[in-house]
């Protein structure tokens, strides 16, 4: 499908120029002479959006006309980042738009950097959803992504005196030129109230409170503008924005109380990554967007096909983790109460339509809600959940009398009766998937062991993927040019072609080109490091990078403790030929996660000491870049030599940053965890640096913990490092600042920081040796890029489409 008429290059530039000027004049009401950078950006986005709309309407029209099956991707998070550069690239308009802007006196790359970074997500799960929306558009899978249009995305992180401070994020303050408000697509979302039986399986629910969900649509254009998907985000509005009663009595606060309560639902993203907030407002968010999305898709299906009997043939609903688990109960409610299906038929349709992706096995991350809360907020849904549970447990009991019903139940009876959202999602889905081979296997053995016995066919694996358009073509144009020269222009269309790059691993000319590209990328990053951290770093040194949410299981603490050991070693033998390094950290900590915040503080305190020590001056630097987000990742990843993927084995479900680094040619130092294992299998054991306990060994180590004191005694240098940290060597103004952090390790090394220390330290010395042999290093780098095409999101989406959704892709995913 061709999106728009193709023009000769010059015509195209002229056309874009006049489109931009029209937007500036008639949509923004600005004369070119008065336009500020931000006005040019908005005009550029609006002009680009017109081109996206051409694609979008063609896609939508086609999928309606042919009655094709559609995917509905329900996610409480979409971590989008900036959109202009990627949209232009996918539309093939980067060149002409750059020229058009230049002829209007505007530097496009410069104004692109003032586009706000849409951070409607916390980390991996949210970014995955964004990559998948783009990959579905690129591979021709008709799809709608459903989520919440938060007024405020993930908080902005500042570092003050070495400590994280949170500032509110405000991405909508200049409006969002990409979106379309759809007042006509709005639904009533009920809360509370009472229920009364009205038929054998039917109930009338009379909510006590009702809020409106209003749709905001954004087109997501795929590669070469062949196709597009839609991101539909819901905003909460009050039914009655002003209570006239209260207003007339002079109660001005009371007059807007309903409005405030309703609009609170889409006010702000919860900044928790992996621990449930447990607040009522969060449950309201979950139901709000789940109900709006299901009402919308059921309504549209009914309008298109006149019946819901064939819903499962035309709709695949994917639950991105348990946050939208209420979809199971809400779809049942719509089928039973509104469309008068009987229970059996409604259940059959629900189960055939829904599937669920699990993203974490950390026990503290598994969502549960008190039965009493669900009952009060969603009385009908609680009834339905009990109904599902009774039938499910009955069926299991009949089939296998010795089954462990207490652990299968949708209700946890041990902690004051709570609804287990993972069990609800699991039972309600036809397929449940993990996000890496190891993770999917561990699901079967641990958290979902009993459910897996009850449904041995249900769990499958789809290893995560990343979009190569954003993370290679756009983030790393230098490497992309080289790959196109070596593997052909078509690598952009078929990332699988990077495999040919592998044949050039020993080619000196290729190695030199790679070194020059990396150096340029490092220079770009060095400028930002100087601006944001006030530290001058030399682009010739090894850039050793760990960027991700800060969490104990990700073990930034292991990295910084080993950095201290290295610092001590350099100081005691300053004349040895140390591989000069800069340790780059970035990442946010949940605002209430004290230990993670203390780790950030320690990294910054260590940086202050190390960076001011003249003995280690040209050997070691430590920097913590504030406010990690998608845009910063796009800058950092192409500049990385070494990628730190050092989670405690068994704890990182997959990781996706690991894939981005490897595709860009960084060498991974990592544990055998998540997708690291699959990266290792593809790039080969010689081209990755693996250390530490395996997931099986971690299991054993946890059952039989070795006392920390013993581990410390057996590990050279560790005692000194811990004593220094605990004794205030890095916090001279507050000597016991890290006493608790270190005491925690000594008491219970739950994440095996101490246990894996020596192995990690040795692995870093192997890195030193590899770096010293630069030809070897570039060989490894080539192998990483050449063998990581499989981690393309197009491949992952192809697997979902074929094995879970049963939708034909428009274009076969080639990876």
Annotated catalytic sites, by residue?
359, 548-549, 554, 656, 660
Nearer to ligand 26W by C-beta: 308 or 672?
A: 672
Q: Which of 369, 374, 298, 378 has the alpha carbon at shortest distance from 334? A: 298
Quick one: 225 or 655, whose CB is closer to ligand 26W?
655
Residue number with CB closer to ligand 26W (778 or 791): 791
Per CB under 6 A, does 135 bind ligand 26W?
Answer: no
Q: How many residues does the chain have?
A: 815
* Total Cβ atoms within 10 A of residue 166: 15
Considering the complex, state which of residue 125 and residue 649 has its C-beta at the smaller distance from ligand 26W. 125
Contacts of 566 by beta carbon, 8 Å cutoff, 6+ apart: 581, 620, 764
Structure-token pair, residue 467:
């979009």
| C-beta closer to ligand 26W: residue 654 or 784 | 654
Span near ligand 26W by CB under 6 A; candidates 227-235, 247-255, 360-368, 384-392: 360-368
Distance CA 469, CA 472 (A): 6
- The answer to whether residue 125 forms part of the interface with ligand 26W (CB under 6 A) is yes
Sign of the torsion angle spanned by Cα atoms 452, 453, 454, 455: positive
Per-residue string for binding with ligand 26W, 222-261, x by CB under 6 A?
Answer: ----------------------------------------
- 81, 116, 123, 650: residue in contact with ligand 26W (rule CB under 6 A): 123
Q: How far is CA 524 from CA 118, 326, 391, 577, 629, in A?
A: 23, 46, 60, 27, 17
Phi, psi of 402 (to 5 degrees): -95, 10
CB of 506 to ligand 26W, least distance (A): 33
Widest CA span of the chain, in angstroms? 85
Beta strands in 541-580 (DSSP E): 542-547
Shortest CB 271 distance to ligand 26W, Å: 10
Tell which one of 115, 169, 201, 321 touches ligand 26W (CB under 6 A). 321
**Residue number, 319 or 726, with CB nearest to ligand 26W:** 319
Of these, 35, 365, 596, 815, which contacts ligand 26W (CB under 6 A)? 365
Q: How far is the CB of 648 from ligand 26W (least distance, A)?
A: 12
Q: How far is the CB of 335 from ligand 26W (least distance, A)?
A: 27
Q: What whole-number distance in Å separates Cα of residue 247 and Cα of residue 254?
A: 7
CB 476 within 8 A of CB 664: yes
Q: Which residue is nearest to ligand 26W (CB)?
A: 124
- Please name the residues in contact with 112: beta carbons below 8 A apart, sequence gap of 6 or more: 41, 82, 84, 85
Element (H, E) at 782: helix 774-786
| Helix locations, 273-358, DSSP H | 280-305, 311-314, 327-333, 343-353
* Segment interacting with ligand 26W, rule: CB under 6 A, options 37-45, 92-100, 357-365, 627-635: 357-365
Instruction: Name the 3-class secondary structure at 222.
Output: coil
What are the tokens at 702?
């946890």
Q: Which stretch binds ligand 26W (CB under 6 A): 42-50, 358-366, 597-605, 742-750?
A: 358-366
How many CB atoms within 10 Å of residue 756?
27
Q: Does 359 bind ligand 26W (CB under 6 A)?
A: yes
Q: How far does the chain reach from its first CA to its final CA, in angstroms? A: 21
Give CA separation, 641 vs 242, 582, 665, 757, 765, in Å: 57, 10, 8, 21, 15
Q: Kindly state whether residue 804 participates in binding ligand 26W, applying the rule CB under 6 A.
A: no
User: CB of residue 325 vs ligand 26W: minimum separation in angstroms?
Assistant: 11
Q: Which stretch binds ligand 26W (CB under 6 A): 10-18, 511-519, 523-531, 649-657?
A: 649-657
Stretch that binds ligand 26W, among 237-245, 524-532, 595-603, 650-658 (CB under 6 A): 650-658
Three-state SS for 767? helix
**To the nearest whole angstrom, how small is the minimum distance from the Cβ of residue 410 to ligand 26W?**
17
Nearest residue (CB) to ligand 26W, 125 versus 525: 125
Q: Does 130 bind ligand 26W (CB under 6 A)?
A: no
Rounded distance between C-alpha atoms, residue 344 and residue 328, angstroms:
14
Q: Which stretch binds ligand 26W (CB under 6 A): 191-199, 380-388, 447-455, 648-656?
A: 648-656
**From the CB of 437, what's the least distance to ligand 26W, in Å?**
13
State in angstroms the smallest separation of the CB of 180 from ligand 26W.
28
Tell me which stretch binds ligand 26W (CB under 6 A): 124-132, 477-485, 619-627, 661-669.
124-132
Of 751, 775, 618, the C-alpha closest to 692 is 751
269 versus 742: smaller Cβ distance to ligand 26W: 269
Two tokens, residue 355: 């599937």
Shortest CB 425 distance to ligand 26W, Å: 12
Segment 429-488, which members bind ligand 26W (CB under 6 A)?
A: 435, 464
Helix (H, G, I), strand (E, B) or coil at 420: strand
- Residue 487 and residue 500 in contact, taking contact as beta carbons nearer than 8 Å: yes
Dihedral angle at the C-alpha atoms of 441, 443, 445, 449, nearest 10 degrees? -140
Choose which of 81, 142, 674, 798 interacts with ligand 26W (CB under 6 A).
674
Among 367, 375, 562, 641, binds ligand 26W (CB under 6 A): 367
Residue 138 three-state SS: helix
Task: Please list every residue from 255 through 274 that binds ligand 26W, using CB under 6 A.
Answer: 272-274
Of 129, 131, 169, which Cα lies nearest the Cα of 150?
Answer: 169
Which letter does DSSP use for residue 618 in this model? T
Instruction: Kindly state the smallest distance separating residue 70's Cβ from ligand 26W, in Å.
Output: 22
Smallest gap, in angstroms, from Cβ of residue 290 to ligand 26W? 14
Among 45, 316, 459, 653, binds ligand 26W (CB under 6 A): 653
User: Residue 128, interface with ligand 26W (CB under 6 A)?
Assistant: yes
Number of residues counted as binding ligand 26W (CB under 6 A) = 22
DSSP-based three-state secondary structure for 776: helix
Can residue 655 be called a binding residue for ligand 26W (CB under 6 A)? yes
- Cα dist from 795 to 135, 254, 676, 755, whole Å: 9, 53, 17, 36
Closer of 607 and 653 to ligand 26W (Cβ): 653
Residues 737-776 that bind ligand 26W (CB under 6 A): none
Angle 124-139/84-91 helices, nearest 10 degrees?
20
| Residues contacting residue 503 through CB under 8 Å, at least 6 positions apart | none
- Least Cα distance to 300 among 288, 314, 313 occurs for 314
Least Å distance, CB 161 to ligand 26W, is: 29
Instruction: Compute the distance between CA of residue 792 and CA of residue 464 in angstroms, rounded to an integer.
Output: 8
Q: Which residues contact 737 (CB under 8 A, 6 or more apart)?
A: 598, 601, 605, 728, 731
Q: Is 546 in the site for ligand 26W (CB under 6 A)?
A: no
Q: Which residue's CB is nearer to ligand 26W, number 72 or number 132?
A: 132
DSSP-derived letter for residue 799 is H
Which range of residues in 123-131, 155-163, 369-377, 469-477 is near ligand 26W by CB under 6 A?
123-131
**Tokens at residue 476, please?**
């790393």
Q: How far is the CB of 129 from ligand 26W (least distance, A)?
A: 9
Whichever of 349 and 421 has its CB closer to ligand 26W, that residue is 421
Stretch that binds ligand 26W, among 118-126, 297-305, 561-569, 745-753 (CB under 6 A): 118-126
Under the rule (CB under 6 A), what is the footprint of ligand 26W? Answer: 123-125, 128, 272-276, 321, 359-360, 365, 367, 435, 464, 652-656, 674
């Amino acid at each position: 499908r061709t999106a728009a008429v193709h023009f000769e290059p010059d015509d195209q530039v002229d056309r874009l120029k006049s489109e931009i000027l029209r937007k500036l004049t008639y949509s923004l009401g600005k004369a070119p002479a008065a336009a500020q950078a931000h006005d040019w950006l908005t005009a550029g986005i609006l002009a680009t959006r017109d081109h996206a709309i051409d694609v979008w309407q063609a896609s939508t029209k086609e999928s309606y006309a042919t009655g094709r099956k559609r995917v509905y991707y329900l996610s409480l998070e979409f971590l989008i980042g900036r959109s202009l550069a990627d949209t232009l690239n996918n539309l093939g308009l980067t060149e002409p738009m750059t020229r058009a802007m230049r002829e209007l006196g505007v530097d496009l790359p410069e104004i692109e950097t003032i586009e706000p970074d849409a951070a409607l997500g916390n980390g991996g799960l949210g970014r995955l959803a964004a990559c998948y929306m783009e990959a579905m558009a690129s591979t021709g899978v008709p799809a709608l992504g459903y989520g919440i249009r938060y007024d405020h995305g993930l908080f902005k992180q500042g570092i003050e005196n070495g400590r994280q401070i949170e500032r509110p994020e405000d991405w909508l303050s200049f409006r969002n030129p990409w979106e379309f408000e759809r007042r006509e697509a709005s639904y009533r979302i009920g809360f509370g109230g009472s229920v009364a039986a009205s038929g054998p399986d039917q109930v009338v629910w009379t909510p006590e409170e009702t809020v409106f969900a209003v749709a905001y649509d954004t087109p997501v254009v795929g590669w070469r503008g062949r196709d597009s998907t839609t991101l539909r985000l819901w905003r909460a509005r009050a039914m009655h924005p002003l209570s006239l009663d209260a207003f007339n009595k002079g109660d001005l606060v009371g007059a807007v109380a309903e409005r405030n309560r309703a609009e609170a639902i889409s006010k702000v993203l919860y900044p928790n990554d992996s621990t449930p907030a447990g607040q009522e407002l969060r449950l309201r968010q979950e139901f709000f967007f789940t109900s709006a999305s299901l009402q919308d898709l059921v309504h549209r299906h009914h309008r298109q096909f006149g019946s819901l009997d064939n819903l499962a043939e035309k709709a695949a609903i994917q639950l991105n983790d348990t946050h939208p688990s209420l979809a199971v109960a809400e779809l049942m409610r719509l089928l039973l109460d509104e469309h008068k299906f009987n229970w059996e038929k409604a259940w059959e349709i629900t189960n055939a339509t829904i599937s669920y992706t699990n993203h974490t096995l950390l026990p503290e991350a598994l969502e549960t809600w008190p039965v009493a809360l669900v009952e009060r907020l969603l009385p009908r849904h609680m009834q339905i959940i009990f109904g599902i549970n009774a039938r499910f447990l009955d069926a299991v009991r009949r089939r296998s009398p010795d089954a462990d019903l207490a652990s299968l139940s949708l209700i946890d009876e041990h902690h004051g009766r709570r609804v287990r959202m993972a069990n609800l999602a699991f039972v309600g889905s036809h397929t449940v998937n993990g996000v890496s081979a190891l993770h999917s296997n561990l699901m079967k053995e641990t958290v979902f062991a009993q459910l897996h016995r009850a449904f041995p066919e249900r769990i499958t694996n789809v290893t995560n993927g990343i979009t190569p358009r954003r993370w290679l073509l756009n983030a790393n144009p230098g490497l992309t040019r080289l790959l196109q020269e070596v593997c052909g222009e078509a690598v952009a269309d078929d990332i699988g072609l990077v495999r040919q790059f592998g044949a050039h691993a020993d080619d000196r000319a290729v190695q030199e080109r790679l070194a020059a590209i990396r150096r340029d990328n490092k220079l770009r990053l060095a400028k930002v490091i100087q601006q944001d951290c006030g530290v001058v770093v030399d682009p010739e040194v090894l850039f050793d990078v760990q960027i991700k949410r800060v969490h104990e299981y990700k073990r930034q603490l292991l990295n910084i403790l080993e950095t201290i050991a290295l610092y001590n070693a350099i100081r005691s033998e300053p004349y040895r030929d140390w591989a000069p390094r800069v340790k780059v950290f970035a990442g946010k900590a949940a605002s209430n996660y004290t230990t993670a915040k203390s780790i950030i503080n320690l990294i910054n305190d260590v940086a202050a000491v190390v960076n001011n020590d003249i003995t280690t001056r040209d050997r070691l630097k430590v920097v913590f870049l504030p406010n990690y987000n998608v845009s910063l990742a796009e800058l950092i990843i192409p500049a990385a030599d070494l990628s730190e993927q050092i989670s405690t084995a068994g704890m990182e479900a997959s990781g996706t940053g690991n894939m981005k680094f490897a595709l860009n040619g960084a060498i991974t130092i990592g544990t055998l965890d998540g997708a690291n294992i699959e990266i290792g299998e593809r790039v080969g054991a010689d081209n990755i640096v693996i250390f530490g306990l395996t997931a099986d060994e971690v299991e054993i180590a946890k059952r039989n913990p070795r006392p920390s004191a013993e581990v410390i005694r057996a590990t050279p240098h560790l005692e000194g490092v811990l004593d220094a940290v605990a004794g205030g060597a890095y916090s001279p103004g507050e000597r016991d600042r890290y006493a608790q952090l270190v005491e925690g390790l000594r008491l219970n090394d739950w994440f095996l920081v101490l246990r894996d220390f020596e192995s990690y330290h040795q692995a870093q010395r192997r890195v030193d040796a590899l770096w010293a042999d630069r030809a070897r290093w570039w060989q490894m780098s080539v192998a990483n890029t050449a063998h990581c095409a499989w981690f393309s999101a197009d491949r992952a989406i192809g697997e979902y489409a074929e094995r879970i959704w049963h939708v034909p892709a428009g274009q076969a995913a080639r990876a």
